[in-house]
């Protein structure tokens, strides 16, 4: 999710998602100059951002909390980008910076594009390594295996990668990015096309998930992570703020049960902060919500209701085991709890 420089323009100019400018990879062999190493990199996220939330879930499921430290930005940006005002003295305690843009500038001054999360920053140099939100989690699953916890699931199993890639491409185009094209549409026709595309894909996903617990195979994969981070925000922000209001997610029995199943699985719901999500979208996107008023709803108590998806079979972690408790300093409030 890019920095706030374009927030006042949303809804006034056609939305186009920028590609990641920094696409270096952190790999086991260090071929891009960035080898996997415990404690070397810091993951910068906003809990408001669905793209960053993928990395939060992946890091939890794989047990990389000790290997990759975490910096959480304030959900409310200013014109200098994501800021560390949640930390004492307004500085990230590890990187020593006030704004994520400082790590970007340390890597490349006057770089093109905005300042986005997730971002991996090299702690020794303070330089950004990558903001490639599409690749970071895939590398967590495949390149960081030496640092995975015992019992870590295989989130990108080789025999299923072609199918996972196909499903993720469809979800990205019509759902992950589709809600943004809907919310930032500049005219009626553009809006209707995007909104109809979102719900057409949701209907297809509902059909797919009616008889299977997970999107691909019998356990959680990267595809489920990428769909979850949009669905968990759907009724809270996309239905109202982005006008994706043909139906609420809670009105789709299959998808509502599916996303509750994931939310109640260790590694998913324990990374979600609905307060950050709502305040970011409603207060930062001034182009489409100029008052900055944050709605009181929706009621979040339903997230803990039994889903009964286990009746479809499947094992959440495959041959693996659930992740351990959330580190105390990374805990987030449960829905409905201040």
pLDDT digits (tens, 9 = 90+) for 30-58: 999 999 999 999 999 999 999 999 999 99
pLDDT digits (tens, 9 = 90+) for 96-133: 999 999 999 999 988 877 899 999 999 999 999 999 99
Among residues 41, 49, 191, 238, the one annotated as catalytic is 49
CB atoms near residue 179 (< 10 Å): 25
Residues 6+ apart with CB under 8 A from 133: 20, 51, 52, 54, 55, 116, 118
Between 16 and 227, name the one with better pLDDT.
Answer: 227
Residue 180 annotated as catalytic: yes
Q: Percent of the chain having pLDDT more than 70?
A: 93
Between 161 and 338, name the one with better pLDDT.
Answer: 161
pTM of the predicted structure, to 2 decimals = 0.94
Residue 213, Cβ density class (10 Å: 0-12 exposed, 13-18 middle, ≥19 buried): buried
Among residues 10, 41, 104, 180, the one annotated as catalytic is 180
Strands 69-72 and 41-45: parallel
Look at the chain and count its residues: 338
Rounded CA-CA distance 171/162 in Å is 14
Hey, which residues does 37 pair with through a beta bridge?
none
Hunting for tokens 């909390």 — which residue is that?
65
pLDDT at 19: 66
Q: Which helix (H) or strand (E) holds 74?
A: none
Hey, which residues does 121 pair with through a beta bridge?
42, 128
Q: In the predicted model, is pLDDT for residue 296 greater than 50?
A: yes
- What is the band of 18 on the pLDDT scale with cuts at 50, 70, 90? low
Enter the DSSP assignment of 81.
B
Strands 41-45 and 127-130: unpaired
Q: Cis before residue 118, ω within 30 degrees of 0?
A: yes
CB atoms near residue 207 (< 10 Å): 10
Residue 244 annotated as catalytic: no
pLDDT digits (tens, 9 = 90+) for 140-163: 999 999 999 999 999 999 999 999
Enter the DSSP assignment of 35.
B
pLDDT digits (tens, 9 = 90+) for 168-223: 999 999 999 999 999 999 999 999 999 999 999 999 999 999 999 999 999 999 99
Q: In what order do the strands lie in the sheet with 41-45?
A: 69-72, 41-45, 119-122, 127-130
């Amino acid at each position: 999710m890019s920095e706030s420089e374009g927030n006042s323009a949303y809804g006034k100019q056609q939305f186009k998602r920028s590609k990641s400018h920094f696409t270096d990879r952190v790999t086991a062999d260090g071929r891009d100059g960035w080898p996997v190493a415990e404690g070397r990199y810091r993951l910068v996220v906003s809990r408001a951002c669905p793209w960053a939330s993928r990395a939060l879930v992946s890091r939890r499921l794989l047990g990389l909390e000790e290997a990759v430290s975490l910096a959480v930005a304030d959900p409310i940006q200013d014109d200098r980008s994501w800021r560390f005002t949640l930390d004492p003295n307004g500085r990230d305690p590890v990187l020593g910076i006030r704004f994520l843009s400082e790590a970007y500038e340390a890597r490349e001054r006057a770089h093109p594009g905005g300042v986005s999360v997730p971002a991996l920053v090299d702690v020794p140099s303070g330089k950004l390594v990558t903001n490639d939100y599409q690749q970071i989690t895939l590398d967590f699953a495949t390149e960081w295996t030496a640092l995975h916890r015992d019992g870590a699931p295989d989130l990108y199993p080789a025999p299923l990668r072609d199918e996972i890639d196909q499903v993720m491409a469809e979800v990205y185009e019509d759902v992950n990015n589709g809600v943004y094209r809907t919310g930032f549409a500049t005219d009626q026709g553009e809006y209707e096309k995007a909104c109809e595309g979102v719900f057409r894909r949701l209907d297809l996903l509902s059909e797919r998930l009616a008889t299977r617990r997970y999107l691909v195979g019998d356990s959680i994969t990267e595809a489920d992570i990428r769909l979850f981070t949009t669905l968990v925000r759907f009724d809270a922000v996309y239905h109202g703020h982005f006008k994706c209001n043909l139906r609420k997610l809670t009105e789709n029995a299959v998808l509502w049960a599916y996303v509750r199943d994931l939310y109640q699985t260790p590694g998913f719901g324990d990374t979600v902060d609905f307060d950050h999500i709502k305040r970011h979208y409603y207060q930062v996107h001034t182009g489409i919500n100029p008052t900055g008023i944050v709605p009181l709803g929706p009621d979040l108590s339903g997230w803990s209701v039994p889903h009964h998806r286990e009746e479809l079979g499947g094992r959440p972690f495959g041959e693996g085991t659930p992740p351990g408790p959330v580190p105390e300093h990374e805990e987030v409030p449960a829905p409905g709890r201040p």
